[in-house]
Amino acid sequence: MPEYNYRILIADDDEMIRTLHAEFVRGFGYDVEIAADGLEAIAKTSLGVDLLLTDAHMPNMDGFEVARRIRRTRTSEDLPIVMVTSLDAREDRLRAYEAGVNDFINKPVDHTELRLRLKWLLELKTAQDQLKRSKQNLEDTVALRTRELRGALEEVTRAQREIQGAHLDTIRRLTLAAEYKDHDTAGHIERIGRFSQVIGMAMHLQPGMVDLLLHAAPMHDVGKLGIPDSILLKQGPLDREERAIMNTHTTIGGEILSGSSSPVIQMGQRIALTHHEKWDGSGYPNGLSGDAIPIEARICSVVDYYDALTMDRPYREAVGSDEVVEMIEADSGSAFDPHVVDIFVKARVEIEKIQLEYIVEPTT
């Protein structure tokens, strides 16, 4: 007896032959389903039969058409079909193969031949079914692992975004610490970042660099943390000695931000150190000129100059926007990179819009 009770569907319009074949099949240890014609045979394939033993010639629908219709049904496309026939012509057998018949057995059916043919076809079907199940299990496992991997990647991405957000927040808080005691410049760091972003985009810098500019430019004056309040908040112009001390905020900022592996802080360090260098080499702290000054610092120097002059300071009132733009254009090629100035003037409307958006009233 087989370990699994295979179910064989026997289709024949002759009741006596159906009964004989059913007795044979039950004797082999298989379960039996009976169909009196082709229509019933097709209907009963949905019962989960493992093999169809069908007569070639039946009324209404012969065995050839039964095989064709079964093969069109995806759920039964692998069902073994054995045709019981007296046809010996080569054309008839080719027609049967084309219809989807797997094997033939001649009338009258030999008991031993039938047993061996059924055994071989059922073993083949079992192997195919196991292969299909293994394939499905593999596909299910791959799908599960893919979902798990996707979930893990989403979690890693979320964590990285949180880390990046915390990183940028830390940078912003460090920058705010430098501006905190100078209440008249509240909002300055936000504007400098946005201004620099606008100029970088207008200059067609790489998107990644523009994003770095947005977050790094606000660090330009972080070195003010090391400047005494008596100088930083002095009501009036600085004398020569005080100006020299004030100028050290560039090197102090460079030292504070040096040695970091963060691209944002690395750019911030370059900007903090060089944003007071001038195009003609007359700036500080190192007298750099032209392209030797990092492009991010050249951008920051223009927008910082504009924002500083158009805002009220402890020792002076704000200068009008038109006048400041004229001053920047006058210093193009001496203090400022001419190309950056040209871009700044073209982007002036957007710059002024951002400035109004980020103006914060001084605290008392």
- pLDDT of 239 reads 92
pLDDT band, very low/low/confident/very high, at 1 (cuts 50, 70, 90): very low
- From the list 131, 219, 142, 211, the residue with the least C-alpha distance to 175 is 219
pLDDT at 78: 81
Distances (CA, A) of 180 to 28, 172, 221: 94, 12, 12
Q: Which two tokens stand for residue 207?
A: 């998107």
Mean pLDDT of the chain: 86
pLDDT of residue 64 exceeding 60: yes
The reported pTM is 0.57
Q: Is 63 exposed, middle or buried (0-12, 13-18, 19+ CB in 10 A)?
A: buried
Per-residue pLDDT at 364? 39
Rounded to whole angstroms, the Cα distance separating 228 from 257 reads: 19
| Predicted pLDDT of residue 167 | 64
pLDDT value at position 90? 75
Q: Which residue has the tokens 């920058």?
A: 175
What is the CATH topology of the domain spanning 7-134? Rossmann fold (3.40.50)
Rg from Cα positions in the chain:
43
**Where is 135: in which H helix or E strand?**
helix 111-180
Res 362: pLDDT: 43
Contacts of 34-43 spanning 24+ positions with Cβ under 8 A? 34/9, 34/10, 35/9, 35/10, 35/11, 36/11, 36/12, 37/11, 37/13, 37/61, 38/11, 38/62, 38/63, 38/65, 38/66, 40/11, 41/9, 41/11, 41/66, 42/66, 42/69, 42/70
- Separation of alpha carbons 85 and 211, rounded Å: 79
Higher pLDDT, 330 or 186: 330
> What's the confidence (pLDDT) of residue 363?
41
Note the pLDDT of residue 25.
93
Percent of the residues in the chain that have a pLDDT greater than 70, as a whole number = 87
* pLDDT classification of 164: cutoffs 50, 70, 90: low
**Which of the pair, 362 or 113, is modelled with greater confidence?**
113
What pLDDT score does 12 carry?
A: 92
CA 312 to mean position of chain CA atoms: 46
Question: Which stretch, 90-94, 146-150, 187-191, 318-322, has highest mean pLDDT?
Answer: 318-322
Q: Quote the pLDDT of residue 174.
A: 67
Residue 361, burial from CB neighbour count under 10 angstroms (0-12, 13-18, 19+): exposed
pLDDT single digits (tens) 254-265: 998 888 888 888
CATH class assigned to 181-358 = mainly alpha
Give the three-state DSSP class for 82: strand
Query: What is the distance between the alpha carbons of residues 262 and 322, in angstroms, rounded to a whole number?
Result: 38
The confidence band for 195, taking pLDDT boundaries of 50, 70 and 90, is very high
Give the CB-side neighbour count of residue 353, counting CA atoms within 13 A.
5
Structure confidence at residue 359 (pLDDT): 62
> Containing H/E element for 18?
helix 15-27
Q: What are phi and psi of 176, to 5 degrees?
A: -60, -30
**Residue 64 to residue 86: CA distance in whole angstroms:** 14
Q: Where are the domains of the chain?
A: 7-134, 181-358
What pLDDT is stored for residue 244 in this prediction? 95
Mapped onto helix, strand or coil, the DSSP state of residue 83 is: strand
- Summarize the confidence of residues 140-166 as an average pLDDT: 76
Tokens representing residue 232 in the block = 């930083």
CB 278 within 8 A of CB 289: yes
Determine the pLDDT at residue 337.
97
Average pLDDT (201-212) is: 92
Question: Which residue, 171, 191, 175, is CA-closest to 309?
Answer: 191
Q: Is the peptide bond before 108 cis (omega within 30 degrees of 0)?
A: yes
Instruction: Summarize the confidence of residues 214-240 as an average pLDDT.
Output: 87
Q: Which of 20, 54, 19, 17 is nearest to 37 (CA)?
A: 54
Asked if residue 83 lies in contact with residue 54, where contact means CB atoms within 8 angstroms, the answer is: yes
